[in-house]
């Protein structure tokens, strides 16, 4: 009897050990995966969930010499450019006409002495402007030519009205085609892109989304 009881007790211990081993085999793998994720899994999560990436928006604005308000938004994901949105809005005003009329009326009512003073002042002003031009060359914009170039690229999305024009460049749409030389200067790294636009007279701000 004692021998049978001992065998039964040993059998129960083996069953308990087997159960514990099976439980460990079930519990440990997912626990280790959670504690020590593989790099590949992390990369897949980033691709499947864009919100996990670091997004930066570089926004540059300028009023051009040919009367357009231009806004350029460059979106960078993990420091790689992914989207560029270029918006042109035509500026319409009559300030130049009003200024010309006021100048004409003033010229008629001024006497000869005042005319001499104005001429002297104008000469001084022109000299100052000439000096400034020599040190800071004026930037000549050509928005119409820029828009015509953007219209000619099929991979760019266009949305235009009579006075507003928007062009969207998605890098994923350029993966299967050669990138046209005309837009490579708009697809630079964040630091180079900011410097490029500021050299053209744009005011730029950088925001981490």
pLDDT digits (tens, 9 = 90+) for 38-57: 544 444 554 555 555 789 99
203 near 62, Cβ under 8 Å? Answer: yes
Q: Which residue has the higher pLDDT, 102 or 61?
A: 61
User: What is the distance between the alpha carbons of residues 131 and 80, in angstroms, rounded to a whole number?
Assistant: 42
**Residue 114: is its pLDDT beyond 70?**
no
Per-residue confidence (pLDDT) for residue 26, from 0 to 100 = 87
Reported as half-sphere exposure (CB side, CA atoms, 13 A), residue 197 has a value of 26
User: Is the pLDDT assigned to residue 109 strictly greater than 50?
Assistant: no
Q: What is the model's pTM?
A: 0.56
Which residue from 54, 70, 56, 53 is spatially nearest to 206, judged by alpha carbons? 56
Classify the phi-psi angles of 144: left when phi > 0, otherwise alpha if psi is within -120 to 50, otherwise beta.
alpha
Rounded distance between C-alpha atoms, residue 112 and residue 35, angstroms: 91
Q: Are strands 164-170 and 80-90 parallel, antiparallel or unpaired?
A: antiparallel
Residue 68 pLDDT class (50, 70, 90 cuts): very high
pLDDT for res 51: 54
pLDDT, averaged across the chain: 76
State percent of the chain over pLDDT 70.
64
pLDDT score at 177: 81
Least confident of 77-81, 91-95, 126-130, 142-146: 126-130
Pairwise CA distance, residues 171 & 82, whole Å: 5
Q: Residue 200: CA atoms inside 13 Å, Cβ hemisphere, count?
A: 22
- List, for residues 123-163, the tens digit of each pLDDT value: 444 444 444 434 444 678 899 999 999 998 888 999 999 99
pLDDT confidence band for 197 (50 / 70 / 90): very high
The DSSP code sequence of 90-112 is E----HHHHHHHHHHHHHHH--H
The predicted structure's pLDDT at residue 47:
52
Contacts of 200 (CB under 8 A, 6+ apart): 62, 139
pLDDT score for 74: 96
Give the model's pLDDT for residue 203: 96
Query: Which residues in 110-127 are b (16+ Cβ under 10 Å) and which e?
Result: eeeeeeeeeeeeeeeeee
């Amino acid at each position: 009897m004692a021998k049978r009881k001992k065998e039964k007790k040993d059998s129960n211990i083996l069953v308990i050990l087997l159960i514990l081993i099976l439980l460990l085999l079930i519990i440990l793998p997912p626990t280790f995966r959670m504690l020590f994720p593989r790099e590949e899994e992390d990369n897949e999560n980033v691709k499947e969930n864009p919100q996990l990436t670091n997004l930066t928006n570089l926004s540059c604005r300028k009023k051009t010499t040919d009367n357009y308000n231009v806004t350029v938004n460059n979106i960078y994901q993990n420091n790689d450019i992914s989207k560029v949105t270029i918006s042109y809005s035509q500026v319409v005003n009559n300030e130049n006409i009003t200024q010309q009329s006021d100048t004409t009326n003033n010229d008629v009512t001024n006497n000869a002495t005042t005319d001499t003073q104005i001429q002297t002042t104008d000469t001084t002003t022109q000299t100052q402007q000439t000096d400034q031009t020599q040190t800071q060359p004026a930037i000549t914009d050509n928005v119409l030519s820029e828009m015509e170039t953007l219209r000619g690229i099929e991979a760019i999305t266009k949305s235009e009205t009579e006075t507003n024009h928007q062009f969207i460049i998605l890098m994923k749409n350029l993966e299967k085609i050669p990138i046209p030389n005309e837009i490579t200067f708009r697809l630079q790294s964040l630091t180079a892109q900011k410097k490029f636009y500021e050299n053209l007279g744009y005011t730029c701000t950088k925001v981490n989304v």
